[in-house]
Chain A
């Protein structure tokens, strides 16, 4: 095995645990609902997981660099609001907004710009990313509300295409999510910039002392997160057919849960793109299965909360054990 592909073989224990949990959960739901294992339902799960997966890919890069982006859901909201502002025509009589293909470049450019702004703000203000992106979360959401007048805007035309298109019976967002995850993994494992990003997360001080341009690397990570937020927003709007004030609301928590559950360390320097994908699938599978078996609605949040606690505890215990054995070494797990 060449050194180039070695990261693929270093599948972390947390990823294997996730595979096991996903398999157990799936078997459990399949035994309780004869529809769970249907091909149509698997397609549903993949499609419903796509926005979370894409957002989580961007968040993995940010967290790997010891950052966090609480504004990713607000970016999804504002990027789409800006896209409608630039490429939408409101028809009052139809209670809907017609769109052109320009919504895509505008939303993507907006996502990149808003993510970049997060990095610049973090670099310039020298505040923790938590505080900075908490601020931009409020700012972006406020701007989104202002642009849309906090209304529910039904949309028509090309904006729906991405969320609703299918290829071989599978939603196009699923392919987009897989592509983004592969691209994210290749970036982290195969490019010098990706490795430097992990180094920054592993030890920011060492990274600075060894001459790494940490500020530029953070711009890359946050811009990618913004891009992923905008793409997730495009999928959500394409599927539902409306831009509403709640678009992207709470996305940050789901996405961060997926990243941490997937084995990326909240302390930076360690990332698992494969784990992120699996965790996104697990979270979606739980919601899907709970509905299929007609579970008590009050159980949904309990189950999600328990999973988050387990993930955070496992991550903290693992970080503690590593710190006792050896200093932090940046690594990418498959």
Chain B
């Protein structure tokens, strides 16, 4: 638990520390923003980016690749030919986007990757994202603490297995659990970030292991499916109830915050979206004006919070505001 609070402190420090970039005057700057897809978390990211770009007095040209690497490449090429000053992209294919980033930079346009890191970080002008590994590790350490040395059966729902966040949120959870042989991962269910698959996976795992003690839901949208199953089996019980199943989730959306406030999940790790967006925009503007970007890549760990400190932490969690 102490480590979790250390993470809170570190994340809070990151949020309040001055960034490496100062938002320069950007009246004539248009930033091309290319998203891999549109879903609730991306909607929140788009809003955070829009706010950051408006605050910098720049303009935004937005495109959604809708889970298609080829479409994303075409959209970015079009933006470049239309004369945008910089690109901020959430890549759909973390391999294919390396070439896209290199060709964009070769055309004299800075390429900033957001949220999803490319397989080769040297391809981009700057990367800013969450730290899926740190988040997975915090989740793993929380489960170790919750198990307290006793036998503990854990269901691990997985996001996209061809996706950096999905892979590292899973791998680093598993690494953290290696120190606890009392914890058994009874199933690792690939869901491709689909709540329906999260529901089916939870239903099947509970069928095989009625004594399931924990569920790792590495993105908030999975929670609704998980809750549906637990409710049907009379297991949707608040934190503190002896039959409560320990749940850890990641994202920090309004849905996740509500689940924490309702005491339905034990730990939520909120991605620092506004700060990520602010740094991405500042780097894009600075690079478009010829400035040097250092460091070239930054990974911001999520902010852990739970039912006992949600009130105190709410101001730092984007999903708890409003």
**Interface assignment of B227: CB less than 8 Å from any CB of chain A:** yes
Q: How far is the CA of A41 from the CA of B189 in the complex (A)?
A: 17
- Nearest opposing residue in chain A for B190, CB measure: A297
Contacts of A36 in B (CB 8 A): 208
Of the candidates B187, B193, B232, which one forms a contact with A246 in the assembled complex, judged by CB atoms under 8 Å apart?
B193
Contact present for B207 and A35 (CB under 8 Å): yes
**Interface assignment of A33: CB less than 8 Å from any CB of chain B:** yes
Whole-angstrom distance between the Cβ of A53 and the nearest chain B Cβ: 14
Contact present for A44 and B207 (CB under 8 Å): yes
Q: How far is the CA of A229 from the CA of B187 in the complex (A)?
A: 30
Q: How far is the CA of A254 from the CA of B189 in the complex (A)?
A: 18
**Interface assignment of B25: CB less than 8 Å from any CB of chain A:** no
For A159-182 the 0/1 string (1 means CB < 8 A from B) is 000001000000000000000000
Contacts of B201 in A (CB 8 A): 291
Whole-angstrom distance between the Cβ of A199 and the nearest chain B Cβ: 37
Q: How far is the CA of A64 from the CA of B224 in the complex (A)?
A: 37
**Interface assignment of A103: CB less than 8 Å from any CB of chain B:** no
**Interface assignment of B288: CB less than 8 Å from any CB of chain A:** no
Of the candidates B66, B161, B208, which one forms a contact with A292 in the assembled complex, judged by CB atoms under 8 Å apart?
B208
Contacts of A44 in B (CB 8 A): 203-204, 207
Q: Using a CB-CB cutoff of 8 Å, which residues 232-270 of chain A contact chain B?
A: 236, 239-242, 244-247, 249-250
Q: Using a CB-CB cutoff of 8 Å, which residues 175-217 of chain B contact chain A?
A: 185-190, 192-196, 199-201, 203-205, 207-208
**Interface assignment of A16: CB less than 8 Å from any CB of chain B:** no
Q: Identify which of A81-89, A147-155, A273-281 touches chain B.
A: A147-155
Q: Identify which of B35-43, B110-118, B265-273 touches chain A.
A: B35-43
Contact present for A95 and B255 (CB under 8 Å): yes
Contacts of B187 in A (CB 8 A): 291-292, 294
Contact present for A297 and B189 (CB under 8 Å): yes
Q: How far is the CA of A297 from the CA of B190 in the complex (A)?
A: 6
Q: How far is the CA of A301 from the CA of B253 in the complex (A)?
A: 29
**Interface assignment of A288: CB less than 8 Å from any CB of chain B:** yes
Contacts of B205 in A (CB 8 A): 291-292
**Interface assignment of A98: CB less than 8 Å from any CB of chain B:** no
Q: How far is the CA of A155 from the CA of B159 in the complex (A)?
A: 23
Q: Using a CB-CB cutoff of 8 Å, which residues 25-79 of chain A contact chain B?
A: 33, 35-36, 38, 40-41, 44, 48
Q: How far is the CA of A250 from the CA of B194 in the complex (A)?
A: 10
What class of interface size applies to chain A in its complex with B?
35 or more
Whole-angstrom distance between the Cβ of B197 and the nearest chain A Cβ: 8
What class of interface size applies to chain B in its complex with A?
35 or more
**Interface assignment of B238: CB less than 8 Å from any CB of chain A:** no
Of the candidates B38, B203, B253, B255, which one forms a contact with A48 in the assembled complex, judged by CB atoms under 8 Å apart?
B203
Q: Using a CB-CB cutoff of 8 Å, which residues 136-168 of chain B contact chain A?
A: 158, 161
Contacts of A154 in B (CB 8 A): 224, 255
**Interface assignment of B98: CB less than 8 Å from any CB of chain A:** no
Whole-angstrom distance between the Cβ of A74 and the nearest chain B Cβ: 12
Whole-angstrom distance between the Cβ of A243 and the nearest chain B Cβ: 10
Whole-angstrom distance between the Cβ of A163 and the nearest chain B Cβ: 9
Whole-angstrom distance between the Cβ of A80 and the nearest chain B Cβ: 12
- Nearest opposing residue in chain B for A247, CB measure: B196
Contacts A152-B255, A297-B161, A298-B161; is A244 near B39 (CB within 8 Å)? yes
Contact present for A297 and B207 (CB under 8 Å): no
Q: How far is the CA of A291 from the CA of B228 in the complex (A)?
A: 18
Q: How far is the CA of A33 from the CA of B208 in the complex (A)?
A: 8
Contact present for A245 and B207 (CB under 8 Å): no
- Nearest opposing residue in chain A for B205, CB measure: A291
For B14-55 the 0/1 string (1 means CB < 8 A from A) is 000000000000000000000001111011000000000000
Contacts A48-B203, A244-B39, A246-B39; is A291 near B208 (CB within 8 Å)? yes
**Interface assignment of B263: CB less than 8 Å from any CB of chain A:** no
Q: Using a CB-CB cutoff of 8 Å, which residues 126-149 of chain A contact chain B?
A: 138, 141, 145, 149
**Interface assignment of A101: CB less than 8 Å from any CB of chain B:** no
Q: How far is the CA of A301 from the CA of B160 in the complex (A)?
A: 12
Contact present for A240 and B190 (CB under 8 Å): no
Contact present for B207 and A244 (CB under 8 Å): no
Residue contacts A-B, CB under 8 angstroms, 10 given:
A35-B207, A35-B208, A145-B38, A149-B43, A152-B39, A152-B221, A250-B194, A291-B201, A293-B208, A294-B186
The 4 closest A-B pairs by CB, nearest first: A291-B204, A152-B40, A150-B38, A292-B208
